[in-house]
């Protein structure tokens, strides 16, 4: 049988664990500079894809097919990635 005091302890531990998934300094530090650059590049690509209203019929078809409003056709995806 679990006492009330033990129950409180478990509850608090669970809350801390949940908080840890949102912000874990140890995990943040573990990221390599390369990973950070990749994340930055990915966010810039996403920003470019959102800001540029260069949507052709192929883009629209991809969006419908994938159910993803940010999907691009091969041509525009390559453009968004800087090729």
Per-residue contact flags (x/-) with Zn ion for residues 58 to 77, judged by CB under 5 A:
xx-------------x--x-
- Binding Zn ion by CB under 5 A: which of 56, 61, 66, 78? 56
CB of 42 to Zn ion, least distance (A): 19
Binding residue count for Zn ion, defined by CB under 5 A: 5
For Zn ion, the closer CB: 27 or 75: 75
CA distances from 67 to 12, 43, 64, 74, 75 (A): 40, 20, 5, 16, 19
Residue ranges in 27-46 that form contacts with Zn ion under rule CB under 5 A: none
Binding interface with Zn ion (CB under 5 A): 56, 58-59, 73, 76
């Amino acid at each position: 049988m679990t006492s009330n005091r033990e129950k409180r302890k478990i509850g608090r531990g669970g809350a801390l664990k949940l908080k840890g998934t949102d912000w874990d300094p140890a995990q943040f530090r573990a990221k390599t500079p390369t990973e950070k650059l990749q994340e930055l590049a990915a966010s810039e690509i996403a920003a470019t894809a959102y800001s540029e209203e260069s949507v052709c019929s192929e883009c629209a078809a991809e969006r419908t097919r994938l159910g993803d409003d940010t999907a691009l056709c091969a041509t525009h995806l390559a453009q968004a990635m800087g090729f």
